[in-house]
Structure formats: C-alpha cells, structure tokens
C-alpha cells in the first residue's frame, strides 16, 4: 500500500501547472528533436541543461526526462516516413515501417508505432514502480562475462535484421564490427586505425555513422530515381487504425518486444538501440513466415517500437537506484541532478523520495501527452512526405550536418557523415544491407571489451562462459541459433537427395 | 589552400596586435573539453558567472568534447591569443601528448596559466566484502595476497589508473588493473563484486558509501579534504603522495601581458566569492586557488610526475 501512497504523492507533485507545463514542453521538444534526423535527445538535453539552473529539481528532471523518452517516439516517425531514422535506436523501424509507407499505409504505421510505444512505455513504468530495487540488484549480477554472452546472442541475430541474401548480411555485420574497432583499445590504450587524427581517438561517432549510412545514403539513392510522393492528402481516424487481423498479429510481438526492451534497458551496459535490434531479430526468428519481414510486416514494426520505449523507461532504474547511468544521455540527466545539488546514488530513492515518485508519475503523464500529441499529428506528418523531394532532401542533409556539427562544434562530424554516407551508398549499390552493419558497429566494441575483461578476471579460463548460469543460457541459445538453421538446411538437403 | 593556412597561422599575431587597452570589449569564451552536464562543464558554468562579473563582460561556456578532452586545448592553443578564448583545463589534458601522441598542443609551451581554481580529490574505494577500511589495511591486505586482487580503472592512462599505479609502485604492491569505459561502469563493477577496488571521484564514492555499498579507504590529496576529515589521505601511509587532478584556466601563448593580468585579477576576485567556493565544495571539489605565476611554477613538476607514470603503463 505504501506504493499507492507514494505514487499518489508523486502525482500530487506533478499535477501543478508549472510541472505539467515543463513535462509537456519536454515531451513536445523531445518528439520534435527526435523527428529531425541527426538531432537527438542528447543534444536537446545538453541545450536545455543551462536553463534548468533556474528551475526546481522536479521541474528540471521532469523536462529533461521528457526530452529523452519523447525522442524515442519522434525518432521512428522520420524512419517510417522518409526511411531516415531520427535517432540510431529507430534505425530498425525503417525496415518494415518504411515499407508500409511505400504501400500507402503510413498512417497505420505511425498510429501503431505511437500506441505500441505508449503501451510498452507504460509496462516499463509499472516495472519501475514495483520492482526498482529488485531489478537494480538483478542488473548488478551482470558482469563482463554475462554482458559478453548477451551481446554475442545479439550479434548472432544481427544478420537476420535485413532482407535479401544472408551472406551479404553477414558481411555487413563483419564490416560494422571492423569499423567499430576504430579508436583507442580499452584494454591496452593502443590506438587502432586513428591515423594520427585526434578526433578518431575515441572512435567514430555512432550518430554520425547512423546518419551517414541511413540518412545520407538514402537521400543519394532516392535522388537517382523518380520516386514519387506517398500518402494521401487527408487522413481520417479510419485510415490510421490497423485492421483486426493486424492487431491480433501485433500482440505477440508487442509482448516479446516489451520484455526484451525492459530487460536490456535495465542493464546499464545495453540500451534502447540494442534492444530494438534484438527485438526485431527475435521476432523474425519466432515468426512462422519470416519471409514477410522487410516487406511491411506490422510485427517488424511493433516489436522494435515496443522494445525501445520499454528500454527508455527501464533505463532509469539503474540510473536512479544505483547512480549508474547506462548511456551518455542518462549520464547527462544525472549531471542535471548534480547541478541541482542532488547526488545520485543508492540513497536517492530514500533521501529524495518525493522527487523519485514525482518523476515516475511524470513519466506516465508524459507518455499520455505523447500519445495525445502524436495521434492528431499523424495527419500532419504524413503530409510531410508530400513535400517534393527537391525541397525535403536538401533540408534533411542540412539538419543532419547541423546536428553532428553541434555536438563537437567542429566540421569533423560532417566529414564523417559524408564519408560513411558514401560507404553506405556503395553498400546499397552492391546490396549489402545497412541495418546489420549498424548492429555490428554497435555490438562489436562492447563485445570485445567485455570478452577480454571477462578472460582477464578469470585469469584466462575460457570455461567461465559455460559455468556461469546466465552466460551459459545465452551461449546455448546463441549456439542453437547457429546450429539449428544449418541442421534444418542439412535435413532438407538430405530429403531432396533421397527423393532423387 | 596553402595561403589560407598561412593566413590562419598569422591570425593570432594580427589579433594580438589589435588588442587595445579596453580589454575586454566583448564576451569571452571559456572552452571546456567535455560535454554539457559533466563535472567539468558544471565547474565552468559556476566559475564563469563571478569571473565574468569581475571582468565586466559575460563569459560564455563552449563545450568542445572529444578525444578524452584533448580537442578543446588543441582548439584554444590555435585560437587567437587575444584573451577572448580561454581554456578551462584539467591535469589529464596536460599529459595528452604523452598518452595520445600529437594532439596539437604542448601543455607548457602552448599556454599561459591564469589561475588554478580547484582540485578534484579522488578516492580509493573497496567493495563491501573486502576486509579493509583504510589505506594501511589496504596495503597490508594486498601485500599479504600479491597478484590476487583486481581494481577497476576508467581507462588506460586516466588519472585514476595512474594514481593506483603510482601508489602500487610506492608501496610495492602487486595488483592487477581491469579497464572499463568510464567511471560509471567501473563503479558498477565494484558494486557487483567483479573487482575489489576502484579509484573514483570523491563525490561518487561518498554517495555509494552512504548507501553502504562501498568503503572509502582514502583520498589522493596530500591533506584531508574539508568536510571529509574522517577519511585519511594516502599520504598518511605513503609520504608526500599527491595524485589529485587540478582544474585551471589557461590562455594561448602569446596573449599580451595586459590581458593576462586582467584575466588573473578577474579569476582571483571570483575565487574570493564565498558562494562559488561553497558550490564547488558541495560538488566534491576543493577550491584551491593558485595565482598564474605559482601555477606556472608548479605545473611542469606535476606534468613530469604524471607523464613518468603514464609512460610506464603505456604500450610502446
């Protein structure tokens, strides 16, 4: 019952005109920044951070958190409509989401994405309310060993996040892992492939790379053809609501996506981006008809959308209960708390109880705002696609450049976008898919880092990967994922031969 | 293209000559090597206000993160030496050339020190299952079990890593380092019991130790930290041990003397501000003002010590 009174207290704090206003401002700005490719929640939070000096701690954190999870909603809008993800975590929404747009079902895709996001976000919030300390304790049972095995599972599934030839997808993963190795090696301090360029010391920026291979490359290849505009002029509610069959098909992916997202979000070493990719690859694997994926299957949109929003909420659990931020954006939010004179750590939930519950209450209100904001806007967004490409695409390139420039105030990021954009275009020409490439880039470096650390801590003993229970399960699943298709293929081949 | 570079290279001299007696006539930019929201950024924003008031011009904070904080000094070193671009630096960046190779500046030759603002004490912490509560017990424990323990470092040749290596060297300890990507993952490893020890900022250590998750063994400043007198410094056991990162203001070499003096006066006045000192202390920093000439005298020795340790741990 204590939780009920706590949450009631939280709502009482949030339901002041001032806090509601900051919550709305946060989520609205988050959506907007999320929609614009290259501008992410991180930039929005960094920009507004100086403003929070003049706010109460509650208002400050409510607004900044709103930008964060609002960005997860917004990022998929541009992914679905123009095949350019607003944020790296929505890159996977381009696969089936944009296919739906091409089939003239953009409104359905946007509506589904908003509803799935809201529902998954709500599940994340409930988990946070009820089990925060427990989940935090569970997250602490993950060491380098367990992280390696979970990431291995992700990498094994990486090649399935694509349509077309399997070999090319595998090649893309390998390319991604290789590019991810640029920068200083964590374990030894040796610089790899930095060629004496100081900007490469910390590696290639994920945002710049994602904007290059997805955004820049998409724009270059679209400008080749005479791709026409998609979408209707007027959207009614009837056009947005998915069919009954689609709703039924979405329930399973929603449940699995939310579970994957809530789990990976709560681990400080993973997050929304990895969650959305892994949810997609899981969905494709359990599907009875994986051939539909990448051709506008609603399951391929619902699963990653649920995953990244559930993860965006559960990511607050280690941040607030342990004082351990999982992502750079979470670290920024902790920074905002420190500016307010609140030291995040294990005592935050006790010493700043009111703030903690107010934040949770604000999550719910913020997600509700997002749902209310996004559904009427579907009509407006869909019309965005009707802007002639000769106006739309140059503006997107400008926005991407502006976004990556502003992170470091240096043109270097823009050159990286151009460079990776050319690479991405080249990959398209030869049919190497971008999504597994990005996944290799994201998963490779932490996998290597955790593998070496785990072996160091075990003093070189490889058996630890199968003697630790969590790791053993992941390694088993990963091996099954590799062996099973090979076996069914072998069995099929055998059967064919017998028939001859 | 060549001509353009030449013109750019000449810029500092031209601008330097153009500075009139009226400095400052426009807002000053304080460049920080880390993103908004981090500890350095917070320090910058806190110090910018009183220093700007003393200067009679606003000081705007500009974040130029990247390459472990070495992009910002590289940028300032090559900016116009007119006093309108100043760098809020820290010790780690001064050994940047040793750690990362050519980063486009030399901590001594490329800058003129204005003032030291604060030091950020580091804390040596132990996991809750480790049988040590202070530095002496730590030394005894590790000595009794050579090569048994691991400690977490937030990266190769970070000050945290170097501090432990220097300590191990001075006390004759054998313990192994495991590197993580930043301070939070290394704290996480300590909380989960993956490693036994870690060096983290005193502020982070405090909040975890108040939660009963870790034990603070000692601080890396020579003297006890005000407000944390119950925690002994490492120097109680190893005489003269000093491994606390410093934070300071520098301007590009070649800045006119009059401008340097104006800036030094402004930061001296700012550091006399009790509000600023209080808010620095509240964030786990120790306000430790040093005048420009004093800092200039101390810095080469400090860099020398850190560089020697860094060279010993880095692969060749």
The structural domains of chain B, ordered by start, are 2-120+245-313 (3.40.190.150), 122-236 (3.40.190.10)
Average pLDDT score over residue span A206-226: 85
Q: Answer whether A404's CB lies under 8 Å from A207's CB.
A: yes
Q: What integer pLDDT is reported at residue A225 of this predicted model?
A: 66
Residues 6+ apart with CB under 8 A from B117: B43, B47, B88, B247, B248, B249, B267, B271, B280, B287, B288, B289
Q: What integer pLDDT is reported at residue A297 of this predicted model?
A: 92
Average pLDDT score over residue span A92-104: 91
Q: What integer pLDDT is reported at residue B32 of this predicted model?
A: 94
A322 CB neighbours in chain B (<8 A) are 188, 191
Q: What integer pLDDT is reported at residue A227 of this predicted model?
A: 53
Query: Domain residue spans in chain A?
Result: 2-231+246-499
Confidence of residue A228 (pLDDT cuts 50, 70, 90): low
The full 3-state SS of chain A, as one line of letters, equals CHHHHHHHHHHHHHCCHHHHHHHHHHHHHHHHHHHCCCCCHHHHHHHHHHHHHHCCHHHHHHHHHHHHHHHHHHHHHHHHHHCCCCCHHHCCHHHHHHHHHHCCCHHHHHHHHHHHHHHHHHHHHHHHHHHHHHHHHHHHCCCHHHHHHHHHHHHHHHCCCCCCCHHHHHHHHHHHHHHHCCEECCCCCCEECCCCCHHHCCCCCHHHHHHHHHHHHHHHHHHHCCCCCCCCCCCCHHHHCCCHHHHHHHHHHHHHHHHHHHHHHHCCCCCHHHHHHHHHHHHHHHCCCHHHCCCCCCHHHHHHHHHHHHHHHHCHHHHHHCCCCCCHHHHHHHHHHHHCCCCCCCCHHHHCHHHHHHHHHHHHHHHHHHHHHHHHHHHHHHHHCCCCHHHHHHHHHHHHHHHHHHHHCCCHHHHHHHHHHHHHHHHHHHCCCHHHHHHHHHHHHHHHHHHHHHHHHCCCCCCHHHHCHHHHHHHHHHHHHHHHHHHHHHHHHHHHHHHC
Nearest to A323 among B194, B207, B282 (CB): B207
Higher per-residue pLDDT: A124 or A500: A124
Of A217-231, B1-15, B69-83, minimum mean pLDDT range:
B1-15
Q: What integer pLDDT is reported at residue A455 of this predicted model?
A: 95
Among the listed residues B283, B303, B298, B81, the one whose alpha carbon sits nearest the alpha carbon of residue A342: B283
A332 CB neighbours in chain B (<8 A) are 35-37
Q: Do A335 and B157 touch (CB under 8 A)?
A: no
Nearest to B70 among A142, A188, A198 (CB): A198
Q: Do A187 and B179 touch (CB under 8 A)?
A: yes
Smallest Cα distance from A472 to chain B, Å = 18
Mean pLDDT, chain B, rounded, equals 89
Q: What is the dihedral of CA B63, B67, B70, B72, to 10 degrees?
A: -20
Average pLDDT score over residue span A440-457: 94
Could you give the angle at which helices A106-140 and A353-384 cross, rounded to 10 degrees? 150
Smallest Cα distance from A357 to chain B, Å = 19
Average pLDDT score over residue span A184-206: 87
Average pLDDT score over residue span A348-371: 90
Q: Do A346 and B211 touch (CB under 8 A)?
A: yes
Q: What integer pLDDT is reported at residue B21 of this predicted model?
A: 62
**What is the token pair recorded at A336?**
């905002």
Cβ contacts of A130-134, under 8 Å, gap ≥ 24: A130/A3, A132/A317, A132/A320, A132/A321, A132/A349, A133/A321, A133/A349
Angle, CA of A307, A309 and A313, to the nearest 5°: 115
Q: pLDDT of A136-148, one tens digit each?
A: 888 988 999 999 9
Kindly tell me if the per-residue pLDDT of B35 is higher than 90.
no
Q: Answer whether A98's CB lies under 8 Å from A81's CB.
A: yes
What is the chain B residue with the closest CA to A411?
B64
Confidence of residue A353 (pLDDT cuts 50, 70, 90): confident
- Mutate: best of B44, B188, B216, partner A, most A CBs <10 A: B188
DSSP B25-75: SSPEEEEESS-TTSHHHHHHHHHHHHHHHHHTS-EEEEE---GGGTHHHHH
CA distance A145 to A4: 38
Q: Do A53 and B45 touch (CB under 8 A)?
A: yes
Q: Do A338 and B283 touch (CB under 8 A)?
A: yes
- State percent of chain A over pLDDT 90: 49
Confidence of residue A46 (pLDDT cuts 50, 70, 90): confident
Q: What integer pLDDT is reported at residue B251 of this predicted model?
A: 96
Q: What integer pLDDT is reported at residue B7 of this predicted model?
A: 47
- Reply yes or no: is the peptide bond before residue B131 cis, omega within 30 of 0: no
Nearest to B67 among A202, A449, A456 (CB): A202
Average pLDDT score over residue span B301-306: 94
Q: What integer pLDDT is reported at residue A222 of this predicted model?
A: 82
CA distance A377 to A276: 24
Kindly tell me if the per-residue pLDDT of B12 is higher than 60.
no
Confidence of residue A43 (pLDDT cuts 50, 70, 90): confident
Q: What integer pLDDT is reported at residue A331 of this predicted model?
A: 86
Q: What integer pLDDT is reported at residue A500 of this predicted model?
A: 58
């Amino acid at each position: 019952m204590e939780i009920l009174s706590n949450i009631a207290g939280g709502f009482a704090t949030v339901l002041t005109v001032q806090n509601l206003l900051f919550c709305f401002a946060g989520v609205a700005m988050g959506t907007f920044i999320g929609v614009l490719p290259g501008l992410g929640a991180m930039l929005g939070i960094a920009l507004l951070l100086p403003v929070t000096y003049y706010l109460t701690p509650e208002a400050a954190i409510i607004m900044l958190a709103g930008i964060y999870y609002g960005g997860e909603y917004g990022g998929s809008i541009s992914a679905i409509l123009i095949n350019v993800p607003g944020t790296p975590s929505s890159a996977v929404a381009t696969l089936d989401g944009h296919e739906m747009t091409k089939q003239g079902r953009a409104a359905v895709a946007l509506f589904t994405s908003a509803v799935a996001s809201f529902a998954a976000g709500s599940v994340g919030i409930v988990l946070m309310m009820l089990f925060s300390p427990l989940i935090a304790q569970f997250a602490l049972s993950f060491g380098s060993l367990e992280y390696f095995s979970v990431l291995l599972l992700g990498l094994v599934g990486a090649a399935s996040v694509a349509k077309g030839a399997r070999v090319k997808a595998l090649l893309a993963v390998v390319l991604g892992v290789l590019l991810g190795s640029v920068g200083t090696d964590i374990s030894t301090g040796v610089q790899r492939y930095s060629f004496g360029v100081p900007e490469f010391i910390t590696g290639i920026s994920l945002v710049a790379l994602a904007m290059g291979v997805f955004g820049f490359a998409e724009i270059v290849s679209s400008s080749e053809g005479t791709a026409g505009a998609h979408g209707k002029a007027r959207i009614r509610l009837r056009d947005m609501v998915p069919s009954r069959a689609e709703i039924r098909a979405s329930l399973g992916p929603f449940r699995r996506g939310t579970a994957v997202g809530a789990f990976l979000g709560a681990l400080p070493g993973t997050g929304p981006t990895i969650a959305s990719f892994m949810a997609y690859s899981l969905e494709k694997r359990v599907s009875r008809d994986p051939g539909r994926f990448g051709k506008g299957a609603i399951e391929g949109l619902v699963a990653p959308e649920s995953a990244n929003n559930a993860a965006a909420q559960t990511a607050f659990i280690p941040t607030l209960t342990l004082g351990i931020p999982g992502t750079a954006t979470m670290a920024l939010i902790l920074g905002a708390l420190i500016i307010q004179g609140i030291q995040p750590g294990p005592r935050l939930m006790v010493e700043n109880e009111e703030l903690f519950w107010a934040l949770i209450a604000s999550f719910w209100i913020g997600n509700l705002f997002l749902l209310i904001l996004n559904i009427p806007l579907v009509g407006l967004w869909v019309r965005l696609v009707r802007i002639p490409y000769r106006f739309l695409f140059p503006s997107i390139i400008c926005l991407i450049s502006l976004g990556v420039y502003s992170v470091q105030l240096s043109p270097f990021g823009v050159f990286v976008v151009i460079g990776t954009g050319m690479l991405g275009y080249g990959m398209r020409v030869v049919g190497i898919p971008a999504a597994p490439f990005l996944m290799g880039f994201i998963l490779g470096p932490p996998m290597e880092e955790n593998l070496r650390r785990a072996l160091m801590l075990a003093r070189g003993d490889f058996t630890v990967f199968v003697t630790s229970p969590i790791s053993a399960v992941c390694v088993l699943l990963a091996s099954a994922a590799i062996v099973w298709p090979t076996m069914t293929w072998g069995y099929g081949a055998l059967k064919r031969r017998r028939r001859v | 293209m060549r001509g353009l570079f030449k013109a750019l290279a000449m810029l500092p001299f031209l601008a330097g000559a153009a500075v009139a007696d009226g400095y400052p006539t426009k807002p000053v930019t304080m460049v920080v090597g880390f993103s908004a929201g981090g500890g350095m950024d917070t320090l910058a924003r806190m110090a910018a206000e009183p220093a700007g008031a003393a200067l009679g011009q606003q000081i705007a904070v500009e974040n130029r993160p990247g390459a472990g904080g070495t992009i910002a000094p590289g940028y300032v070193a090559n900016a116009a030496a007119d006093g309108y671009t100043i760098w809020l630096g820290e010790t780690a960046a001064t050994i940047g050339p040793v750690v990362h190779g050519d980063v486009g500046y030399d901590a001594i030759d490329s800058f003129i020190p204005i003032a030291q603002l604060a030091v950020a004490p580091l804390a040596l912490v132990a996991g809750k299952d480790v049988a040590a509560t202070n530095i002496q017990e730590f030394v005894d424990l590790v000595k009794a079990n050579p090569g048994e323990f691991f400690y977490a470092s937030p990266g190769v040749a970070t000050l945290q890593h170097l501090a432990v290596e220097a300590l191990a060297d001075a006390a004759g300890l054998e313990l192994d380092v495991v590197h993580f990507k930043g301070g939070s993952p290394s704290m996480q490893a300590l909380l989960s019991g993956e490693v036994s020890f870690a060096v983290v900022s005193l502020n982070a250590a405090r909040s975890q130790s108040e939660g009963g998750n870790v034990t603070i063994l000692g601080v890396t400043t020579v003297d006890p930290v005000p407000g944390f007198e119950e925690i002994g410094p490492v120097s109680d056991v190893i005489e003269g041990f000093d491994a606390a990162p410093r934070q300071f203001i520098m301007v590009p070499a070649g800045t006119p003397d009059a401008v340097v003096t104006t800036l030094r006066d402004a930061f001296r006045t700012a550091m006399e501000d009790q509000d600023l000192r209080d808010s620095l202390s509240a964030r786990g920093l120790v306000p430790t003002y040093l005048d420009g000439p004093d800092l200039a005298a101390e810095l080469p020795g400090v860099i020398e010590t850190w560089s020697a340790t860094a060279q010993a741990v880095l692969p060749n």
